[in-house]
Amino acid sequence: MSQHIFKLLAASETSAAVPRISNAKMLSEPENKGIHDIWVNEPENTKEFAGKRIAVITTDGVEEIELTTVLHFFRSRGASVHLVSPKKPDFPAIFGIEIPDIRATHIQTIHYIETAGWIAFDRLLDSVSESEYDAAVIPGGVWNPDSLRADPKVLDFIRAMAAKGKIVASICHGPWVLADAGLLKGRRATAWWSMKNDLTNAGATYIDEAVVIDGKFITSRSPTDLAEFVAAVGAAL
Q: What is the DSSP string of the chain?
A: -HHHHHHHHHHT----SSS---HHHHHHSGGGHHHHHHHHSPPS-TTTTTT-EEEEE--TTEEHHHHHHHHHHHHTTT-EEEEEEPPPP---GGG-----GGGGTEEEEEETTEEEEEEE-SEEGGG--GGG-SEEEE---SHHHHHHTT-HHHHHHHHHHHHTT-EEEEETTTHHHHHHTT--TT-EE--SGGGHHHHHHTT-EE--SSEEEETTEEEE-SGGGHHHHHHHHHHH-
pLDDT of the residue at 1: 46
pLDDT confidence band for 11 (50 / 70 / 90): very low
- Note whether residue 153 is domain-resident: yes
Q: What is the pTM of this model?
A: 0.93
Q: How many domains are contained in the chain?
A: 1
Let me know if residue 62 belongs to a domain.
Answer: yes
Give the structural domain span for 81. 46-236
Q: Looking at the domain assignment, is residue 97 inside a domain?
A: yes
197 in a domain, yes or no?
yes
Which CATH number does the domain housing residue 221 bear? 3.40.50.880
**4 inside domain:** no
Active site residues: 172-173
Residue 25 lies in a domain: no
Residue 12: is its pLDDT beyond 60? no
Q: Write the pLDDT tens digit of every residue in 156-191.
A: 999 999 999 999 999 999 999 999 999 999 999 999
Q: Is residue 126 part of a domain?
A: yes
Domain-embedded: residue 38? no
pLDDT mean over 122-142: 97
pLDDT in tens, 53-96: 999 999 999 999 999 999 999 999 999 999 999 999 999 999 99
Residue 17: pLDDT band with limits 50, 70, 90: confident
